[in-house]
Copies of this chain bind each other. A is one copy, B any other.
Amino acid sequence: MELHAAYEVIPRLTINSARIRADFDELACIGATPEGGINRLALSSEDIQARAWFAEKIESAGFILRDDDAGNLSGILPSENPDARTLLIGSHLDSVPNGGRYDGSIGLLAGLECLRTLREAGVTLPIHLELIDFTDDEGCWMSLFGSRALVGAIPPDAFTDVKQDNGPFRAALARAGIEPRDVPNARRNPETLLGYLELHVEHGTRLERAGAAIGIVTGIVGRTTYDITFHGEAGHSGTTDMYQRRDALRGAALFIVRTHDVVRERYGDGIFNCGNVCVKPGSFNIIPSKAQLTVECRHVSEQLLNDMETTMISIARECAASYQLTVDVQTKIHVPAATMAAGVMYEIEQSCETLGLEPLHLFSYSGHGAQILSHHIPSGMIFIPSIGGVGHQPNEFTPWEDVERGANVLLQTILGLARQQVRL
């Protein structure tokens, strides 16, 4: 097995910046918002329109179009060796409500451009290259749905769980031609897969502050979301005796204050967010009987994440006890922390060296498909800067030269991984 093009031309291969930019401008029109952002909620008509556009791009470039039973949409540049393993190059077309134009899109467009560049250069690789759009990466319905389906990690009751009404989700899947029963068929045998590679904008300012054009992701934070509910007793605020008060909100407020402080003191890069509070009965002159908190914990170390969550739950119990309350802690979502594969990181480093770029090693505070895939196949992520660290906002912006650099690093990394394959 060998690389068919002249080996020495490969380091000088570069993507066609104008062509990817034209793609970017076209795609940004689908679901465009007045603020300059994107509304392409997963499985919405805008998302489906974007997928049709993307399918057309894949086919017109001469790649094999494929979709699986979870709606993941692929363009394949096959190896001449039908038994070759597949390198997945992925991201997502869907967006959060009024999200940014770069998030997800730029990874797929860069991947598409890499495939086109390789094909035009006449490079034939010892691996299949598969560009893949993951369904509902942003979690409009189910966080990282497409990548979970690919590794067979959609729970069997995902569409029928009686605790939540999944009717609208099932209807959205049906509109997109996805049959819940068939989703398990989307699972791929990891032995057929060489690895996973994703280019994405950083949500954060670490690259910008370091003046680095490229980030090499070392790991992705683990994340757990909770509903934490403090239960007290309602009563007239004016007339309920002081010693009889069981104010659920007072306990909840103490919990929020203490947990923030303790996480900052003890858990370094750990993150605690209380994003919402729902108080009942909710009147100015009634002592709150219930305060339901929507909480999230993140840490790059799975062990420290677990430890941090145990601490948080103890604080909740202590705060409840302080005001004669009870507290109910329910885990909603857990996505384990992920480590990127050393072999993939090495190839990204080599690509940066080839291109004369100084990369920054960092971990990702946000979840990505790589977080799911990394537990099954060697995975890696390339970050490019997002000005001001903006993420999930319509004003998300990355200078075009950073996109271009990122796409070239992606291209060289693909080649590097292919070469590794030859050596193996």
Residues of chain A having any CB pair with chain B under 8 Å: 202-206, 221, 223, 225, 236-242, 244, 247, 249-250, 252-254, 256-257, 260, 264, 271, 273-277, 279, 281-288, 291, 294-296, 298, 332, 365-367, 389, 391-392
Contacts and interface: CB of A to CB of B under 8 A. Distances in A.
A50 B183 CA distance: 62
B241 A250 contact: no
Given A256-B250, A256-B253, A274-B249, A239 B285 contact: no
15 contacts: A205-B244, A225-B284, A237-B275, A250-B260, A253-B254, A253-B256, A253-B274, A254-B257, A273-B285, A275-B285, A275-B286, A275-B287, A276-B284, A284-B296, A284-B332
B260 A277 contact: no
A389 B241 contact: yes
A250 B239 contact: no
Given A283-B276, A287-B275, A294-B283, A389 B253 contact: no
B279 A276 contact: yes
A298 B240 CA distance: 12
A236 B239 CA distance: 42
Contact of A277 (B202, B206, B277, B332): B277
B203 A238 contact: yes
B236 A392 contact: yes
A242 B392 CA distance: 17
Contacts of A275: 237, 249, 279, 281-288
Contacts of A239: 202-204, 365-366, 389, 391
A100 to B, nearest CB: 11
A208 B423 CA distance: 89
A291 B275 CA distance: 10
Given A203-B239, A241-B205, A284 B277 contact: no
A172 B116 CA distance: 71
Nearest to A221: B238
A288 B275 CA distance: 6
B277 A285 contact: no
A237 B287 contact: no
Contacts of A296: 237-238, 284-285
B260 A256 contact: no
